[in-house]
């Protein structure tokens, strides 16, 4: 019991440490990220002043870097709510140290992704027109409703399991933190005192949320794919796009989760709780979805290539041989095949190998989103020369600012809220210790009756 209490105390101290102490490296990271965001704000001011002419987008290629990044961020948002919910439903107990990280990655990615839609608008002041004059027949309206619902559900799914840990922060940081922090934790803990009735209510709420969040998450990226698939353009005109996008979203979400886990594990010394096992298991999931993505790509390309409708030959040439060939072959070899090889080879089946695979997948999936958007718009609809597109410094600056905002929000989150689900990790550890104790075999000592014992003693 003493060992268990010591372990619990060590876990709580590890969770509280990022909130209690802030070093110079933290402020250096924050200043760097804020500087990148500041440069992005300047680029956006230039865009607002001069219009979208400062970008590489024109009438024939009206979507580019911004929409590709929007699709990418919405995809990686599946890192949390969907993966966490599936692991909860399947009762995978190894998930407990990583679910909180996955869930706040979801919320941050959704916020950053939605901002790129606004950035892509030449007149952001007309955003309200989407809600006032939007047509229900438009996939854009479907997308707005789906993302809004998903963001609301994701924030709720992040908050509800965090309530016991917020109460822990409320109690342990009382009179040791600033007044506004104390008010924040008291408010968000909503009177939690670990009573049996509260535990039952919490379990029921989490159960309902994890069942609801799975179809919501699947519907979101399906609807995002329909913005493309509901058109008649050759590369996008596919009934497979919904499943293709959902598989790619989970694939890239797992990769981002592995990268975030590795950074937070090193920064906050979480090695005791986020172990190599978690990286390897997530690496197996990533490799499985890489295989699904290979299957989806083969199905998509084979069907289009067999029918070879007008425009498909041009599309295949720009992917396999011409302008986009280096990106496409990196996507296939580095983003799909390499993660499977890394997961299968014992020498690379470790933290470093899985992080390297995750970096490859993240780069490859952003590239895949980029050439889905741009190559689809380059296919000529009439017999004229194909349009060209190259992002300008304004677009690259805003992309860098978006990635910096993603990193900054996660960094600030770690200084305000528990990055480990303390109560879930503690329950899992107690169950593991109890099961280990029950598994220890006991040696039966035969009973000896009194007279015989006296007789033996007399001898």
Residue 258 lies in a domain: yes
Contact (CB, 8 A) for 74 and 219: no
User: Is residue 160 scored above 70 in pLDDT?
Assistant: yes
CB atoms within 10 A of CB 185: 23
Which range among 34-38, 79-83, 254-258 has the greatest average pLDDT?
A: 34-38
Residue 145 lies in a domain: yes
Question: How many domains is the chain partitioned into structurally?
Answer: 1
Residue 25 CA from chain centroid, whole number? 25
Query: pLDDT, tens digit, for every residue of 287-309?
Result: 999 999 999 999 988 988 888 88
The DSSP call for residue 296 is H
Taking residues 441-446, what's their average pLDDT? 45
User: Quick one: tokens of 328?
Assistant: 């496409």
User: Quick check: pTM over 0.75?
Assistant: yes
Residues 11, 164: Cα–Cα separation, whole Å = 14
The DSSP call for residue 272 is T
Contact (CB, 8 A) for 33 and 411: yes
**pLDDT for res 99:** 86
Residue 255 lies in a domain: yes
Residue 49 lies in a domain: yes
Contact (CB, 8 A) for 154 and 106: yes
Q: Identify which of 436, 412, 99 has the alpha carbon closest to the alpha carbon of residue 274.
A: 99
Residue 2 lies in a domain: no
Taking residues 341-370, what's their average pLDDT? 94
Query: pLDDT, tens digit, for every residue of 220-241?
Result: 888 988 989 888 888 888 888 8
Contact (CB, 8 A) for 166 and 189: yes
Residue 205 lies in a domain: yes
Residues 99, 160: Cα–Cα separation, whole Å = 13
Place of tokens 């407990």: 96
User: Quick one: tokens of 230?
Assistant: 């509901």
Contact (CB, 8 A) for 222 and 139: no
Taking residues 33-38, what's their average pLDDT? 97
Q: Is 140 exposed, middle or buried (0-12, 13-18, 19+ CB in 10 A)?
A: middle
Residue 441 lies in a domain: no
CA-to-CA separations, 71 to 113, 368, 377, in angstroms, rounded: 7, 10, 16
CATH number of the domain encompassing residue 144: 1.20.1630.10
User: Is residue 149 scored above 70 in pLDDT?
Assistant: yes
Residues 71, 213: Cα–Cα separation, whole Å = 19
Residue 446 lies in a domain: no
**pLDDT for res 431:** 73
Domain that holds residue 339: 22-419
The DSSP call for residue 62 is -
Residue 326 CA from chain centroid, whole number? 27
C-alpha torsion sign, points 105, 43, 393, 320: positive
Contact (CB, 8 A) for 409 and 37: no
């Amino acid at each position: 019991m003493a060992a268990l209490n010591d372990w619990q105390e060590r876990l709580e101290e590890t969770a509280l440490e990022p909130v209690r102490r802030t070093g110079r490296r933290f402020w250096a990271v924050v200043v760097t990220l804020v500087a990148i965001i500041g440069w992005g704000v300047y680029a956006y001011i230039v865009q607002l002043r001069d219009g979208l002419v400062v970008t590489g987008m024109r009438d024939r290629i009206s979507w580019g870097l911004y929409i590709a990044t929007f699709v990418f961020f919405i995809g990686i948002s599946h890192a949390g709510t969907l993966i966490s919910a599936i692991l909860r439903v399947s009762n995978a107990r190894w998930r407990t140290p990583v679910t909180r990280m996955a869930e706040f990655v979801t919320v941050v990615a959704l916020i950053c992704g939605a901002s790129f839609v606004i950035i892509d608008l030449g007149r952001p002041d007309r955003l309200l027109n989407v809600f006032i004059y939007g047509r229900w027949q438009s996939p854009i309206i479907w997308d707005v409703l789906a993302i809004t619902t998903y963001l609301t559900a994701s924030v709720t799914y992040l908050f509800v399991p965090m309530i016991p840990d917020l109460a822990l922060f409320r109690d342990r940081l009382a009179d040791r933190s600033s007044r506004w922090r104390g008010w924040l934790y008291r408010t968000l803990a909503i009177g939690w005192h670990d009573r049996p009735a509260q535990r039952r209510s919490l379990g029921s709420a989490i159960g309902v949320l994890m069942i609801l969040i799975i179809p919501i998450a699947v519907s979101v990226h399906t609807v995002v794919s329909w913005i493309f698939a509901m058109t008649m353009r050759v590369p996008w005109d596919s009934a497979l796009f919904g499943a293709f996008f959902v598989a790619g979203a989970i694939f890239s979400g797992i990769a981002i989760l592995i990268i975030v886990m590795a950074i937070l594990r090193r920064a906050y010394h979480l090695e005791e709780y986020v172990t190599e096992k978690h990286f390897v298991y997530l690496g197996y999931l990533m490799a499985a979805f890489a295989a699904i993505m290979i299957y989806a790509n083969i199905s998509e390309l084979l069907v289009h290539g067999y029918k070879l409708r007008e425009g498909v030959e041009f599309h295949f040439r720009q992917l396999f041989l011409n302008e986009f060939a280096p990106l496409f072959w990196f996507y296939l070899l580095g983003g799909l095949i390499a993660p499977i090889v890394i997961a299968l080879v014992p020498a690379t089946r470790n933290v470093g190998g899985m992080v390297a695979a995750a970096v490859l997948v993240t780069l490859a999936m952003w590239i895949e989103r980029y050439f889905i958007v741009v190559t689809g718009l380059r296919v000529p609809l009439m017999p004229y020369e194909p349009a060209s597109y190259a992002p300008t410094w304004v677009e690259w600056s805003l992309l860098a600012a978006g990635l910096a905002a993603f990193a900054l929000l996660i960094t600030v989150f770690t200084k305000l809220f528990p990055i480990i689900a303390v109560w879930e990790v503690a329950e899992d550890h107690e169950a593991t210790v109890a099961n280990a104790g029950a598994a220890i075999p006991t040696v039966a000592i035969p009973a000896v009756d009194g007279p015989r014992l006296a007789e033996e003693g007399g001898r």
